């Protein structure tokens, strides 16, 4: 077998920063599935205030043997002021309750190994602190591409708060158990696949699924072969805001960036640590203090460097941010917001190589309309033109008064700006801010969001695509290399917008769903379910052209070609009905295209060449 140095010499794709082709005594980020604490805080309940989380991470394509894991004493916000680290058990400036880690183990190949904290089996993590590291733990060599289970036992008093980190990926063997005492939880070591505690294990496969405490930063020594290891700065697009636990792959990856980094292609799997979270903006990252602090994660990496012989646990920075950096002027967008983080990173990690990913698009799939009616026939007018609406298509109308105008209707196109539909009847004209939504059936119907007009016309209003141009050109040293995302996600028929459902893969029902329009069901059988994943939104169409929408559902699970819904339906859908995946959604919204749904996550991670990973090398 080739050693790390000979392997790197034979394969120039494996070339780490720092002047070596590998270093067995250097802690490096290594684990899939790692996540920064963020989200909704958890309150300890009576009878389950003692908790055990079991997280499963996968190792790189080289042996690992010595490990350290970190437990944070804070979490970051998601959304408006993300990534500020102000989710705490108290309030900023007034410490709240501490959380006691009663025990921590890693389990490899069925064997438990105890982690310690400054020589002790337990540690108390105080609110609004960086947290605590486990001591160095060396175990027998862990084979490449193995699973490591991380078992954390912790408690607070009933009614006290616990920081959020992970939603359990049950299909990968992850669990969360609760009890009123530690001994009851330790018993699960003898039955590691026992079902999670029902009261803690709710909302599986949805945003409502609780998040539980666990190790966030994870580093390991081993036979690192010099391949790039990435510290990734990400927002909701990179941190997979659009996917939840049940959609994770076999190595725990959610979202296009993790899947692409961890794919065994080009130079192979790239170990990584994603340091951002949903809503993160460049201008707020690695800066701030007090009630706007966002420097604790930076300081934890400084702790790694200190116990790592002054060596970084990564070789390259990947910057996926920019989506949330939009501003009223492009100078503020690019220089003040986007480049400010780059400046801080270059100061913090002198000589760092930064590889940037331009952002994805942001569009809406609604148009403002006016409505009049004669009897039970409503006439809708769109000032900017229909742009792809067709006779026989179902659209959704909302915002009208009287409310009888609202709902999903099959339309008849009259001319370039007008369509009609039948409804129950109501006062004419309708009032209100009225919208028509095609749910993304056609790319032509999408409207560019603010700062997202394509192509960039050189004005401040086109900031998103000017940013892409500047990233690709490495303007003002905003990066050292760029990996473009555009071709991997854009519609094949129109620039700057997402593919319409008609441009994506679809399948059909092979068995009728529903019987009488009253009796409910929650499963359908399709010809090919391989294009779907749990948590994906489905739109099911009938009619000769597959344009009349019958139902909209969200996938709960898939077994073979049987899809189980998260909800139920009574709609009768005949054999041959077309089942289409949505390409994108906004923040739980069917009107905005911001976050890629699973079919697009696959398209993006497959569409960016694995050879682009060579840009991670200095």
Q: 188 and 111, same structural domain?
A: yes
Instruction: Give every CB contact of residue 179 below 8 A, 6+ residues apart in sequence.
Output: 47, 48, 50, 185, 197
Q: 428 and 568, same structural domain?
A: no
Would you say residue 143 lies in a domain? yes
Q: Let me know: does 281 contact 338? Beta carbons within 8 Å.
A: no
Q: 106 pLDDT exceeds 80?
A: yes
Across 214-225, b (16+ Cβ under 10 Å) vs e yields: bbbbbbbbbbbb
Q: 2 pLDDT exceeds 80?
A: no
pTM of the full structure: 0.94
pLDDT in tens, 418-448: 999 999 999 999 999 999 999 999 999 999 9
CA angle 244, 218, 349 (to 5 degrees): 105
Higher per-residue pLDDT: 461 or 138: 138
pLDDT in tens, 283-311: 999 999 999 999 999 999 999 999 999 99
Would you say residue 15 lies in a domain? no
pLDDT at position 11 is 47
pLDDT in tens, 338-397: 999 999 999 999 999 999 999 999 999 999 999 999 999 999 999 888 888 999 999 999
Mean pLDDT, rounded, of the chain: 94
φ, ψ for residue 140, nearest 5 deg:
-55, 150
pLDDT at position 385 is 86
φ, ψ for residue 145, nearest 5 deg:
55, 40
- For residue 616, give the DSSP letter: G
Would you say residue 326 lies in a domain? no
Q: Let me know: does 615 contact 609? Beta carbons within 8 Å.
A: no
Q: 547 pLDDT exceeds 50?
A: yes
Instruction: Tell me how far apart the alpha carbons of residues 26 and 9 are, in angstroms, rounded to a whole number.
Output: 19
pLDDT at position 561 is 98
Q: 184 and 82, same structural domain?
A: yes
pLDDT in tens, 587-610: 656 788 999 999 999 999 999 999
Rounded mean pLDDT of 173-177?
A: 98
Instruction: Tell me how far apart the alpha carbons of residues 273 and 36 are, in angstroms, rounded to a whole number.
Output: 9
Look at the block and give the residue holding tokens 């899939």.
32
| 52-to-74, 354, 608 alpha-carbon distances in Å | 19, 38, 38
Would you say residue 469 lies in a domain? no
Q: 18 pLDDT exceeds 60?
A: no
Of 472, 486, 473, residue with least CA distance to 608? 486
Look at the block and give the residue holding tokens 């960086």.
130
Q: 153 and 63, same structural domain?
A: yes
* End-to-end alpha carbon distance in the chain: 26
Q: 9 pLDDT exceeds 60?
A: no
Would you say residue 25 lies in a domain? no
Tokens of 480: 């050292």
Would you say residue 510 lies in a domain? yes
pLDDT at position 605 is 97
Alpha helices in 438-570 (DSSP H): 463-473, 486-489
Domain end, chosen from 438, 471, 487, is at 438
pLDDT at position 529 is 97
| 3-class SS of residue 390 | coil
Instruction: Tell me how far apart the alpha carbons of residues 519 and 570 are, in angstroms, rounded to a whole number.
Output: 6
Q: 84 and 215, same structural domain?
A: yes
Structural domain boundaries, residue 409: 366-438
Q: 148 and 63, same structural domain?
A: yes
Q: 120 and 44, same structural domain?
A: yes
Q: What is the DSSP string of 547-572?
A: -EEEEEEEEEEEETTEEEEEEEE---
Would you say residue 23 lies in a domain? no
Q: What is the DSSP string of 302-325?
A: HHHHHHTTT--S-SEEEE---TT-
* Reported confidence tier of residue 326, pLDDT bands at 50, 70, 90: confident
Alpha helices in 143-254 (DSSP H): 182-186
Q: 161 and 67, same structural domain?
A: yes
Domain end, chosen from 423, 438, 453, is at 438
pLDDT in tens, 24-67: 999 999 999 999 999 999 999 999 999 999 999 999 999 999 99
How many domains does the structure of the chain reveal? 3
Q: 510 and 427, same structural domain?
A: no
Give the 3-state DSSP-derived string for 65-107, with helices as H, strands as E and coil as C. Answer: EEEEEEEEECEECCCCCCCCCCECCCECCECCCCEEEEEEEEE
Q: 404 and 511, same structural domain?
A: no
Q: 155 and 70, same structural domain?
A: yes
pLDDT at position 8 is 43
Domain end, chosen from 438, 471, 486, is at 438
Would you say residue 559 lies in a domain? yes
Higher per-residue pLDDT: 205 or 69: 69
Of 398, 394, 370, 373, residue with least CA distance to 382? 370
pLDDT at position 206 is 84
Q: 209 and 109, same structural domain?
A: yes
């Amino acid at each position: 077998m080739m050693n790390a140095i000979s392997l790197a010499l034979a394969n120039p794709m494996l070339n780490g920063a720092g002047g070596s082709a590998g270093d067995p005594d250097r802690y490096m980020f290594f684990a899939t599935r790692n996540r920064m604490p963020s989200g909704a805080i958890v309150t300890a309940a009576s009878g389950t205030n003692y908790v055990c989380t079991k997280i499963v991470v996968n190792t790189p394509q080289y042996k690992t043997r010595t490990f350290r894991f970190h437990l944070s004493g804070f979490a970051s916000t998601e959304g408006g002021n993300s990534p500020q680290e102000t989710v705490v058990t108290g309030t900023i400036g007034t410490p709240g309750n501490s959380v006691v880690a009663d025990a921590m183990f890693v389990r490899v190949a069925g064997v438990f190994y105890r982690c310690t904290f400054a020589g002790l089996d337990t540690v108390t993590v105080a609110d609004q602190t960086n947290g605590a590291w486990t001591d160095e733990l060396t175990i027998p060599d862990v084979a490449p591409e193995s699973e490591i289970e991380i078992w954390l036992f912790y408690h607070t008093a009933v009614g006290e708060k616990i920081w959020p980190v992970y939603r359990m990926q049950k299909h990968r063997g992850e669990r969360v158990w609760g009890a009123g005492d530690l001994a009851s939880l330790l018993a699960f070591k003898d039955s590691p696949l026992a079902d999670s505690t029902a009261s803690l294990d709710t909302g599986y496969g949805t945003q409502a699924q609780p998040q539980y405490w666990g190790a966030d930063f994870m580093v390991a020594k081993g036979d690192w072969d010099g391949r790039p290891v990435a510290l990734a700065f990400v927002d909701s697009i990179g941190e997979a805001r659009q996917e939840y636990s049940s959609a994770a792959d076999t190595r725990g990856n959610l979202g296009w960036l993790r899947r692409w980094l961890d794919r065994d292609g080009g130079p192979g799997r790239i170990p990584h640590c994603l340091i951002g979270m949903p809503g993160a903006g460049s201008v707020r990252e690695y800066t701030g203090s007090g009630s706007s602090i966002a420097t604790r994660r930076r300081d934890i990496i400084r702790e790694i460097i200190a116990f790592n012989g002054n060596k970084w646990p990564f070789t390259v920075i990947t910057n996926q941010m920019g989506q949330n950096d939009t501003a009223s002027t492009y100078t503020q967008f690019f220089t003040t917001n986007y480049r400010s983080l780059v400046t801080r990173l270059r100061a913090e990690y002198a000589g760092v190589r930064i590889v940037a990913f331009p952002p994805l698009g942001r569009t809406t799939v609604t148009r403002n309309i006016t409505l009049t009616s004669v009897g039970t026939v409503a006439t809708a007018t769109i000032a900017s033109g229909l742009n792809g609406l067709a006779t026989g298509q179902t659209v959704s109308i909302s915002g009208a008064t009287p409310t009888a105008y609202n709902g999903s209707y099959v339309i008849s196109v009259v001319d370039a700006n007008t369509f009609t539909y039948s409804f129950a009847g109501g006062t004419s004209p309708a009032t209100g801010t009225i919208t028509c939504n095609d749910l993304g059936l056609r790319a032509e119907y999408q409207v560019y969001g603010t700062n997202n007009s394509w192509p960039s016309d050189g004005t401040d209003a086109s900031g998103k695509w000017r940013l892409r141009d500047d990233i690709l050109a490495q303007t003002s040293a905003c990066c050292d290399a760029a990996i473009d995302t555009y071709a991997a996600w854009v519609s094949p028929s129109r620039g700057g917008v997402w593919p319409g459902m008609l441009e994506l893969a679809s399948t059909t029902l092979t068995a009728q769903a529903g019987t009488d329009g009253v009796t409910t069901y929650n499963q359908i059988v399709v010809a090919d379910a391989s294009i779907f994943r749990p948590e994906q939104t489905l739109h099911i169409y009938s009619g000769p052209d597959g344009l009349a929408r019958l139902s909209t559902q969200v996938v709960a699970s898939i077994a073979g070609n049987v899809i189980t819904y998260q909800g139920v339906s009574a709609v009768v859908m005949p054999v041959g009905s077309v089942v289409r995946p949505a390409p994108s959604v906004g923040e739980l919204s069917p009107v905005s295209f911001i976050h890629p749904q699973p079919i697009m996550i696959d398209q993006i991670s497959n569409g960016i060449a694995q050879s682009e990973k060579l840009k991670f090398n200095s």
